[in-house]
Amino acid sequence: MCLAVPGKVMELNGSMGRCDFGGVERELCMDLLPEVETGSWVLAHAGFAIQLLDEEEAKKTLDLFQEWADFEAENTLGPTPIEAANASEAGGGSDGPPA
């Protein structure tokens, strides 16, 4: 459950902001990574930015998680963490964070 997901910080308002995760935008807290700026790529976990990433690494990792998600969609034994994150964003699902 320690999976962290790459995203791009779209806006910052004090220590809270909005972050784009491969097309899904959600709230992100910067308390653990105060050096984040708008436009930064970050590794995010449970609603917090935990590490800075460069853009190429972030995109490669998003592709990798998408590949796992595609496999999962064909083998429906339950959601991957990234799907679970998207499901809980939509207000449904009981499968929690990209933890």
What x-and-dash track marks residues 9-28 binding another protein by CB under 8 A? -----------------xx-
Task: Provide the minimum distance between the beta carbon of 5 and another protein in the complex, in angstroms, as a whole number.
Answer: 10
For residue 14, the 8-state DSSP code is T
Instruction: Taking the CA atoms of 19, 21, 25 and 28 in sequence, report the sign of the dihedral they define.
Output: negative
| Residue 46 half-sphere exposure toward CB, CA atoms < 13 A | 5
Instruction: Find residue 43's DSSP bridge partners.
Output: 6, 51
Q: Does 93 help bind another protein (rule: CB under 8 A)?
A: yes
Please pick, from the candidates 13, 14, 23, 31, the single residue that binds another protein as defined by CB under 8 A. Answer: 31
Q: Residue 9: name the closest of 56, 96, 35 by CA.
A: 35
List of residues contacting another protein (CB under 8 A): 1-4, 26-27, 29, 31-34, 43, 45-48, 50-51, 53-54, 57, 60-61, 64, 67-68, 70-71, 75, 77-81, 84-85, 88-89, 93-97, 99
